[in-house]
Structure 1
Amino acid sequence: MVAFRYSLDKSSKKFICPNCNKKTFVYYVDTEQGKYLTTDYGRCDREQNCGYHKAPPKGKKAYLIDFLTLKKISDKACKLVDVNGVISIIPTSQILKQTESKCFITEWYLKNSNIQYSNNENKYFNSDNIKIINEVKAIKEPQSVKPSFHSLQLQDKIIREYESQQFNDNLTTYLLSQFTVDEVQTATQKYYLTGANYFWNNATLFWQIDHKEQIHACKIMLYNSCKGKRIKEPYNHINWLHKAIKEPDFNLNQCLFGLHLINEDYQKEIAIVESEKTAIIMSIYLPEFIWIATGSKSNFKFDLLQPLKKRKCIAFPDKGEFENWHNKATELNNQGFKIAVSNLLEKTILQNGSDLVDYYSKQKVS
Structure 2
Amino acid sequence: MEYTITLDKSSRKFLCPACQKRRFVRYYDFEKKQYLPEIVGRCDREVKCGYHYSVTEYFKDQHNLGKNISFKPLLKKSIDAGRPVDPSFISYEIFSKSLIHYDKNNFISFLGRLFDKEQIAFLIDEFKIGTSKHWPGATVFWQLDNNGKIRTGKIMLYDPQTGKRVKRDVAYIQWVHKILKLKNYHLEQCLFGLHQLPKAGTKHVAIVESEKTAVLMTGFYPAYCWMATGGLSNLSYSKMKALEGRKIMLYPDLGGWEKWQEKAAVLIQNGMDVQVSGILEQYCSPLDREFGFDIADYFIKEKMFPIKIDPLKSYEDKILAKMIKQNPALKMLVDRLSLVKANTKEAFVI
What TM-score does the superposition give when structure 2 sets the normalisation length?
Answer: 0.72
The residue aligned with 2:111 is 175
The residue aligned with 2:7 is 9
| CA deviations over 1:254-298 (Å, ceiling 9, x no partner) | 111110111113311011001111111101111100010111111
With over 3 angstroms needed to count, the CA separation of the structure-2 counterparts of 1:41 and 1:168, relative to structure 1, is closer
Higher mean Cα deviation, 308-317 or 34-43?
A: 34-43
The residue aligned with 2:97 is 157
The residue aligned with 1:351 is 289
The residue aligned with 1:203 is 138
The residue aligned with 1:257 is 192
Shift of 1:144: 4.2
- Select which of 226, 234, 237 maps to 1:299: 234
Shift of 1:39: 2.5
Shift of 1:50: 2.1
Contact 1:8 1:42 in 2 (8 A): no
Larger relative strand fraction: 1
With over 3 angstroms needed to count, the CA separation of the structure-2 counterparts of 1:315 and 1:36, relative to structure 1, is same
RMSD, aligned CA: 2.9
Between the two proteins, the alignment pairs up a number of residues equal to 282
Aligned-residue identity in percent: 37
Contact 1:213 1:260 in 2 (8 A): yes
2:281 is paired with a residue of what secondary structure?
Answer: helix
The residue aligned with 1:59 is 60
Distance 1:39 1:305 in 2: 36
2:95 is paired with a residue of what secondary structure?
Answer: helix
Distance 1:266 1:284 in 2: 18
Shift of 1:359: 1.8
The residue aligned with 1:236 is 171
Distance 1:32 1:186 in 2: 48
| AA partner of residue 195 (structure 2) | H
Distance 1:297 1:329 in 2: 13
The residue aligned with 1:362 is 301
Larger relative helix fraction: 2
Contact 1:345 1:359 in 2 (8 A): no
The residue aligned with 2:24 is 25
1:239 is paired with a residue of what secondary structure?
Answer: strand
Contact 2:8 2:27 in 1 (8 A): no
Indicate whether 1:184 and 2:128 are aligned. Answer: no
Distance 2:21 2:213 in 1: 25
1:272 is paired with a residue of what secondary structure?
Answer: strand
Shift of 1:318: 0.4
1:178 is paired with a residue of what secondary structure?
Answer: coil
| 5+ long unaligned stretches in structure 2 | 62-68, 72-79, 308-350
Distance 1:301 1:363 in 2: 32
Shift of 1:11: 4.1
Higher mean Cα deviation, 261-270 or 280-289?
A: 261-270
With over 3 angstroms needed to count, the CA separation of the structure-2 counterparts of 1:29 and 1:233, relative to structure 1, is closer
Contact 2:207 2:226 in 1 (8 A): yes
Distance 2:9 2:218 in 1: 36
Contact 2:13 2:171 in 1 (8 A): no
The residue aligned with 1:329 is 264
Higher mean Cα deviation, 15-24 or 199-208?
A: 15-24
Contact 1:273 1:317 in 2 (8 A): yes
Shift of 1:213: 1.0
2:112 is paired with a residue of what secondary structure?
Answer: helix
Shift of 1:34: 8.2
The residue aligned with 2:40 is 41
| AA partner of residue 192 (structure 1) | K
Distance 2:82 2:109 in 1: 46
| AA partner of residue 59 (structure 1) | K
2:122 is paired with a residue of what secondary structure?
Answer: helix
Shift of 1:232: 1.4
The residue aligned with 1:84 is none
Contact 2:13 2:170 in 1 (8 A): no
| 5+ long unaligned stretches in structure 1 | 61-127, 131-139
With over 3 angstroms needed to count, the CA separation of the structure-2 counterparts of 1:240 and 1:311, relative to structure 1, is same
Following superposition of structure 1 onto structure 2, how do residues 313-328 of structure 1 map, counting pairs within 5 Å? 313-328=248-263
| AA partner of residue 25 (structure 1) | F
With over 3 angstroms needed to count, the CA separation of the structure-2 counterparts of 1:166 and 1:238, relative to structure 1, is closer
Contact 2:143 2:192 in 1 (8 A): yes
Contact 2:103 2:109 in 1 (8 A): no
| AA partner of residue 148 (structure 1) | S
Distance 1:265 1:46 in 2: 33
Shift of 1:334: 1.3
| CA deviations over 1:5-53 (Å, ceiling 9, x no partner) | 9975354354321223333223457899887554333321212222223
- Select which of 326, 329, 342 maps to 2:277: 342
With over 3 angstroms needed to count, the CA separation of the structure-2 counterparts of 1:29 and 1:310, relative to structure 1, is same
Indicate whether 1:141 and 2:90 are aligned. Answer: no
| CA deviations over 1:312-346 (Å, ceiling 9, x no partner) | 11010000000110111111111111111101111
Indicate whether 1:215 and 2:124 are aligned. Answer: no
